[in-house]
Chains A and B, each alone.
Chain A
Amino acid sequence: MSAPSSGRESVLNRIRKATSTVALDGPRLAERYSSIPRNYVRAGKLSNATKIALLIERLRDYDADVAESAPGAIADTIREKLTGSGRQTFAAPGGLPRIWMAPSFNWVIDNGLSHEEIEKVDGVVTAATCAIADSGTIVLHHSANEGRRVLTLLPDWHLCVLRASQVVETLPEYFARVTQPPALVTWISGPSATADIEMTRIKGVHGPRHLCVILVGD
């Protein structure tokens, strides 16, 4: 079952022979890498308000349901959305603020739930790491308040709470914010979709079919 080392050596030998240049040491490789021209747009130009408006427009373009909330009203806004969804049982990652979990609903907190247990809930509520306005993308690093990957995958309804300070305009701005590459990332741009049949965009194939976003002003 383990890889035959002969495969490794013969592949690497062929690659080295094909590239024939002397393998660069760390610093020289880094120097060559940093000389790659990157003249594309990195920093955004929009004001905060316009940036948020753009994100909302993009998310709605993907059929996501978006609501804005004042910092003091997060719990209320979440409760309204949960009620509006007509669903009763929700999963929450272990690190989700307890105050976000309105007591009138059933909450299943993920401290190692089985896939079957997660499959049974009606929806899930999480935080997020970042959002990119330009493409309407929500980024999860799967930390304690964002949950394991499966938690935002099996439930059909996902409510995600974002703070305005987490919103950037361009994708490179997100990468500039990440100082240490995380072990797990999921970039979500709208609910799951397909266009495999006659290029007709159909919302909701296997991932959550409904995405709801609450944007909290700072």
Chain B
Amino acid sequence: MSQATERPVLDPTIALPFHQAALPVLRDAQLRKNVAHAIDVIQTKRGRLVAEKTDWQELRSAAAEIRAHVLENLGTYLEQFEARCTAAGGHVHWASDAAEAREIIRGILRSEKASEVIKIKTMTSAEIQLNPYLEADGVNVFETDLAEIILQLGNQEPSHIVVPALHINRSQVREIFAKSMGRPELSDDPQTLTDAARRYLRRKFLDIPAAISGANFLIAETGGVAIVESEGNGRMCLTLPKTLIALAGIEKVLPRFTDLEVMLQVLARSATGERMNPYTSLWNGVTPGDGPQNFHVVLLDNGRSSILGKAKERQTLRCIRCAACMNACPVYRQTGGHAYGSVYPGPIGAILTPQLMQLQHAQSLPYASSLCGACYEVCPVKINIPEILIDLRAQVVDQERHKGSGIFSPLNVGLRIAGVLFSSAGLFHAAQRIGRIGARLFTRKDGWIHSLPSVGGKWTQTRDLRGFPKQTFREWFENRPAKIGTEGK
């Protein structure tokens, strides 16, 4: 089952629990080296550019407040966006879930008789598993972001939301390109490989009449949509085709055009460690003579409104998908993205995925963290990820406890027994004495317990446990040699 060469599963409904999915990665030295290298490069650049910004904390505060304000008034701002976008010549669609969104997009492509479509990297489309759905409907989907091409041609899955192929190194990219583009002469020089991608896509940009994008920001004030990118593949898709479909989570809206002065500054620095990404595009609906004349926005709920309804968890939706949290995470650095069993890996994935799935799936993800807080510290919109992780853990435990089988689970039986023992001093002391006798069976000569049977084995699998001391503190206190200063009492 757990071979590193197997294609990872990024569907939370069928993915393995995190601690199992992480095992093949932990054994794959090459993959861990690739991930660590990429993370170190981004982290160093980010650190340098954040440090040079004297108003970084003020920018973070403003970004967090803007996003929180949007979420409080989300309905109003979405309706405003819809009205302005429609007035500017766009069509706005609303999708309750993934199936509705896929259906809407297929409908638009069918009415345009589009059998091929070019795509800008969009994690939201991966969330609704759009590509396989369209392929099954006879539409050829061409990813245009370099990392996405690597994944698509190599039949691989994304492991990061900003640099989706960071787990693949240059010689692996060379293998993929040489095979799928029929160019065995290619070297593994990144410049050569990038040129190969440019040539591979150039004709497609000019010929394919429909494009699908995500959206970094929707502007309520103007009905505009903004896309932040580096390569120019985004600009190609936004400019050349006749038809453009932008798929956006309902939370992506900003009140005004001016709010970009905050969001663009924090996003580029957080995501790629740049002062500004090479290209950002903003457009309102349709402009005659410039760009696609048939423009659609699909607003996707897919579980977001249920997150919106929970006071503490609502902040999850402030996320602007910069990936700073996964770059800072000591767990992600070891496991890479695939272990999270979702297109959203890392700390944000650990809170977002279980909530989008309403905790029926991905229950192991809230535990995929050491709660060190590095993610919160770097988050440009101040999402308190550790706080939500703890809250989700409590919800998982509650759900388990109320399940029929949960009553007899070792954990719950243990906790109930502990509850009884801790409620009486006599019982507690008796339990201590019995425990000390019992533990003696497993304590080695060095004073440590190296292995316990049954449930206890889960602890000793990876850690040693210090043996019980000969007496408790209370016993020592009662029998200590000189009771100085207690005579008068």
Give the bracket for the number of chain B residues in contact with chain A. 35 or more
Question: B391 interface residue, CB < 8 Å from A?
Answer: no
Shortest Cβ distance from A152 into B: residue: B235
8 A Cβ contacts from B107-146 to A: 107-108, 110-111, 144-146
B42 touches A199 (CB 8 A): yes
8 A Cβ contacts from A189-203 to B: 189-200, 202
Question: A47 interface residue, CB < 8 Å from B?
Answer: no
A171 touches B265 (CB 8 A): yes
- The CA of A174 and the CA of B202, in the complex, are separated in Å by 33
Question: B92 interface residue, CB < 8 Å from A?
Answer: yes
Instruction: Find chain A residues with CB under 8 A from B34 CB.
Output: 198
- List 27 contacting pairs A-B, 8 Å CB cutoff, sorted by A: A1-B107, A3-B91, A3-B92, A11-B96, A15-B308, A18-B305, A19-B308, A19-B309, A37-B62, A41-B55, A41-B58, A119-B206, A135-B275, A148-B291, A153-B236, A181-B219, A181-B221, A183-B222, A184-B282, A193-B231, A194-B231, A197-B190, A198-B34, A200-B190, A205-B197, A205-B231, A206-B198
Shortest Cβ distance from B277 into A: residue: A189
Bitwise, A83-110 to B at CB < 8 A (1) or not (0) is 0000000000000000000000000000
Central interface residue in B147, B190, B232, B235, by most chain A CB within 10 Å? B232
| Other contacts beyond A2-B91, A206-B201, A206-B233: 7, CB < 8 A | A39-B62, A112-B289, A150-B239, A153-B239, A195-B230, A197-B170, A206-B198
Bitwise, B250-291 to A at CB < 8 A (1) or not (0) is 100001111011101100100010111111111111010111
Question: A188 interface residue, CB < 8 Å from B?
Answer: yes
Shortest Cβ distance from B148 into A: residue: A196
A136 touches B239 (CB 8 A): no
B69 touches A33 (CB 8 A): yes
Binds A, one of B74-82, B339-347, B430-438, B441-449: B74-82
A58 touches B73 (CB 8 A): no
Bitwise, B87-117 to A at CB < 8 A (1) or not (0) is 0100111111000100010011011000000
Binds A, one of B161-169, B358-366, B379-387, B394-402: B161-169
Bitwise, B300-321 to A at CB < 8 A (1) or not (0) is 0100011011000000000000
Instruction: State whether A198 and B38 are in contact (beta carbons under 8 Å apart), knowing that A190-B278, A192-B231 are contacts in the complex.
Output: yes
A205 touches B198 (CB 8 A): yes
Q: Which 7 A-B pairs have the closest CB atoms?
A: A207-B232, A18-B309, A3-B93, A206-B232, A192-B232, A14-B305, A205-B231
Instruction: Find chain A residues with CB under 8 A from B145 CB.
Output: 196
8 A Cβ contacts from A1-36 to B: 1-4, 7-8, 10-12, 14-21, 23-24, 29, 32-33, 36
B257 touches A181 (CB 8 A): yes
A19 touches B287 (CB 8 A): no
A40 touches B55 (CB 8 A): yes
- The CA of A106 and the CA of B193, in the complex, are separated in Å by 33
Central interface residue in A23, A116, A136, A137, by most chain B CB within 10 Å? A137
Instruction: Find chain A residues with CB under 8 A from B221 CB.
Output: 181
Instruction: Find chain A residues with CB under 8 A from B38 CB.
Output: 198-199
Question: A44 interface residue, CB < 8 Å from B?
Answer: no
Question: B37 interface residue, CB < 8 Å from A?
Answer: yes
- The CA of A132 and the CA of B299, in the complex, are separated in Å by 33
Question: B150 interface residue, CB < 8 Å from A?
Answer: yes
- The CA of A200 and the CA of B192, in the complex, are separated in Å by 12
Instruction: Find chain B residues with CB under 8 A from A62 CB.
Output: 278
B393 to chain A, nearest CB (A): 23
A37 touches B65 (CB 8 A): yes
- The CA of A62 and the CA of B165, in the complex, are separated in Å by 24
A134 touches B280 (CB 8 A): no
B305 touches A196 (CB 8 A): no
Residue in contact with A11 in the complex, picked from B59, B107, B163, B250, CB distance below 8 Å: B250
Shortest Cβ distance from A36 into B: residue: B65
A151 to chain B, nearest CB (A): 9
- The CA of A3 and the CA of B146, in the complex, are separated in Å by 32
Instruction: State whether A197 and B309 are in contact (beta carbons under 8 Å apart), knowing that A7-B93, A192-B231, A206-B233 are contacts in the complex.
Output: no
Residue in contact with B230 in the complex, picked from A8, A20, A193, CB distance below 8 Å: A193
B60 to chain A, nearest CB (A): 9
B173 to chain A, nearest CB (A): 6
Central interface residue in B91, B169, B240, by most chain A CB within 10 Å? B240
Instruction: Find chain A residues with CB under 8 A from B283 CB.
Output: 183-185
B163 touches A195 (CB 8 A): yes
Instruction: State whether A192 and B279 are in contact (beta carbons under 8 Å apart), knowing that A7-B95, A40-B262, A149-B235 are contacts in the complex.
Output: yes
B231 touches A206 (CB 8 A): yes
Question: B423 interface residue, CB < 8 Å from A?
Answer: no
- The CA of A16 and the CA of B74, in the complex, are separated in Å by 8
Shortest Cβ distance from B231 into A: residue: A205
Instruction: State whether A196 and B163 are in contact (beta carbons under 8 Å apart), knowing that A18-B305, A29-B73, A186-B235 are contacts in the complex.
Output: yes
Instruction: Find chain A residues with CB under 8 A from B95 CB.
Output: 7, 11
Question: A49 interface residue, CB < 8 Å from B?
Answer: no
